Amino acid sequence: MVHRSLKIINEKGLHARASAKLVEVVEGFDARAEV
């Protein structure tokens, strides 16, 4: 299993539109994302 940790560098955080896009991308893989 590959593990990646990413840090979102945006003082306003992760907005709804970007969060929805992240979900779309992750669903295309055998993957899990935690926010």
pLDDT tens digits for range 1-35: 888 898 888 888 888 998 899 899 999 999 888 88
Please give the residue range of the domain that contains residue 23. 1-34
pLDDT at 34: 84
pLDDT at 14: 85
CA–CA separation, 19 and 11 (whole Å): 15
How many distinct structural domains can be found in the chain?
1
Alpha carbon separation from 5 to 8, 32, 33, 34 (Å, rounded):
10, 12, 10, 10
Q: Percent of the chain at pLDDT above 90?
A: 31
pLDDT at 1: 80
pLDDT at 9: 87
